[in-house]
Structure formats: structure tokens, C-alpha cells
Amino acid sequence: MSPDPKKTHRVLFVEDAFDQALLVKAFLGSASDFDVTHSQDGDQAVNLLASEDWDLLITDLNLPGKDGFEVIRIAREKRANLPIMVTTGYTAAEFQEQAFRAGANDLLTKPLAKEEFLEHVAALLGGGTTQAVSTTILAIGGLVGDVPMGCGGTLMQAAAEGTTVVVLPLSRDELDPSDSALPAAKKVSELMGLRLVIDKAALSDTRRRMAVMEKAISDLKPSIMYVPAMDDDHPARMEAFRVAQAASPSVETILGYQTATTGLDFKPTHFVEIGRQMALKMEALATFGAVGSGRMDLTPAMAQAYARYWGRYRRFMEVEAFEVIKGKI
């Protein structure tokens, strides 16, 4: 499926094996909206990256001259948001992980299948969706910061596509009675393109929380809601889950996200690739540390650890993981 029939996408394709080059060029040629430039070695590819603009880089890893890992690193340094796909015969996990650490967004193992290959290309160029269509998404946090940590990358994707995303934390952190993290939370939401709603009275009043939840659902009419996972033993997150469940019979889809206190019974079945949002997510989360927050569960390193841990379910890409509590994805 073509990612955008109105645009011709410029693709730099780096592959030294002639038969593989012909195969991939045939795949892309069948879609009719790709202008493909083929390079047979890493040195030439790096020169082309420096001299021209590209919509997509597709590269092998085993190349003459600079290898594919170096090509990826240089491409990522020159353009942070360039979609990068790896096609490789390497099947060992360490090679795949090294490719993602270098900056790749996606990886397919040879031999390549046409339909799968074109689907992944379309997703990288914006023709695939990772988020169900919704006019408004409501994301509930047990504590301030839970939402950007647990599902910030996914919500950034939705916001970039024009969806209104509202973040509603419900409880005060017992370790932060003066609410010093609130200004940082506002900055984080601004960086991510999300709308933060805070009712200070609800942060310490259970009855008020229910009223705020019911009003948010009534006013926003979200079709998707994110909540802390079912198996979470932190009191504030348990209550957020309970309140959200009680107030949301009209919400079509509810997804549970992971926090630092999520238990071993968290078994996600829905994974969203967030490689292109990861750098901004980590930058935003660093805001909490910059204001002196003691929340170790909101550090950029923790976010990256989660993303890579669950990435084993998606070709070692960086992902956010969700359990489907209600509805279908």
C-alpha cells in the first residue's frame, strides 16, 4: 500500500548484493511513488546523504567501505527524523540490537517478502497507523508523570496526527506534598504536544476524583483511554484504575500502561513502535530531574530500558507496551 499517492518519496537504497538490489527496486517500483537511488557501498552512501535530501534510507549492514552501522549513525547525525530501515541476512540478536542502537527505525531479515516489506515502508513514511482513529484520547495518571513515562511516545504520535490528547493525573505524590513536580509536568506536556489538566482539589480527595473523571469523559467523549495497568500495587495507581473503570462505561477502548510498580502479571498484547519519538520523550522526562524531582521512575534511562525490553516483541525496536483492558486494537 502506498504511503502517500500524491508524493514521490526519494529513497536511498544501500545494498552491495546485485540480486537483492534488483528485488527491492522491483518491490518499490511496483508502488510507483518512489524515486530510488541505489548505492553499492557505504562510502558512496555517506556522500549521498551529505549532498542530497532523502525521505527514506534503506540499508544492508554488511557493506564494502563503511558498514551499515556506520551509515546509520552518520545518517542519524545529519538528520534526526530520517526514517531508516535495515534489510539484513544477520539473524543474531546482537546485530539487530546494534542496528537499533545506531539509530535504525525498523529491521527486516532476508529473504524479504514483498507485502511485508511495503507495509513497513508505508509505516515508516506515515502511511501505517499505530493508533486507532479517535477525535480525543484521555490518558489517566495515578501520579503526575505516569502518563508521559508509560505512553508518552504513543500519545505524541496521536497528537502529531491531529488528535486531541488530554492528560489527567488523579493523585498527589506522597513524596512531593508541595506539588513541586507540577510545573515540570506542564513543561513535559508542552514538549510532547499534550494537554495537561490538573484539578488540585482532586489530587487529595477521592470523591472529587470521581467527579473530575466523570466530567472529563462527559465533556471530551473519548473513544480511547489509557490507565495504569490492572496489576499495579501502588495505592494511587490502583485507585486511578478503579475510578477510571467506574466512570468510563461509554469509552470504547481502554489500554493499560506500565509503571514502576506494575506487577509480573502485566502481559501486554499491543505494542507501539516509538523509535521516532524516543529522543523527544527522553528530553521531556529529563525535565522532572531538572527541577529536583526525586522520582527515579521518571528518568530517561528508565524510559529507554522499558522501550528496549518490550522491543523484543517488535524486532528489537523501541516500543511502548499495553494490555487491552476493553475493546479492540
Average pLDDT over every residue of 270-279: 92
Q: Is the pLDDT of residue 135 over 80?
A: no
- Helix, strand, coil % (nearest 5) of the chain? 45, 20, 35
- Give the start-to-end residue ranges of the domains of the chain: 9-124, 136-326
Rounded Cα distance between 154 and 130, Å, is: 8
Q: Side chain identity at 60, as an amino acid letter?
A: D
Model confidence at 200, pLDDT cuts 50, 70, 90, reads confident
Mean pLDDT of the chain: 88
Rounded Cα distance between 175 and 184, Å, is: 16
pLDDT digits (tens, 9 = 90+) for 202-252: 888 888 999 999 999 999 999 999 999 999 999 999 999 999 989 988 898
Contacts for 183-186 with beta carbons within 8 Å, 24 or more apart? 183/291, 184/287, 184/288, 184/290, 184/291, 184/293, 185/144, 185/145, 185/148, 185/288
| Residues 6+ away with beta carbon under 8 Å from 92 | none
Q: Is the pLDDT of residue 143 over 60?
A: yes
Superfamily of 136-326 according to CATH:
LmbE-like (3.40.50.10320)
Model confidence at 129, pLDDT cuts 50, 70, 90, reads very low
Q: What letters, b where the CB count within 10 A reaches 16 and e where it falls short, cover 270-279?
A: bbbbbbbbbe
Among 54, 67, 51, 66, which Cα is nearest to 13's?
54
pLDDT recorded at residue 222 = 94
Q: Give the three-class secondary structure for 222.
A: coil
E strands along the chain, which residues? 9-14, 34-39, 56-59, 84-88, 106-109, 136-143, 164-171, 195-196, 224-228, 253-257, 270-273, 319-326
Q: Give the three-class secondary structure for 206.
A: helix
- Helix (H) / strand (E) element for 46: namely helix 42-51
How many C-beta atoms surround the C-beta of residue 218 within 10 A? 10
Name the grid cell of 326.
Answer: 476493553
Q: Is the pLDDT of residue 286 over 90?
A: yes
pLDDT recorded at residue 292 = 67
Domains 9-124 and 136-326 share a fold: yes
Q: Is the pLDDT of residue 306 over 70?
A: yes
Phi and psi, residue 28, nearest 5°: -70, -35
319 or 104, greater pLDDT: 319
Rounded Cα distance between 272 and 153, Å, is: 8
Rounded Cα distance between 296 and 14, Å, is: 41
The architecture of the domain spanning 9-124 is: 3-Layer(aba) Sandwich (3.40)
pLDDT recorded at residue 4 = 53
pLDDT recorded at residue 178 = 67
| Residues 6+ away with beta carbon under 8 Å from 38 | 13, 14, 15, 21, 25
What's the pTM?
0.62
pLDDT digits (tens, 9 = 90+) for 48-90: 999 999 999 999 999 999 999 999 999 988 887 799 999 999 8
Q: Side chain identity at 193, as an amino acid letter?
A: G
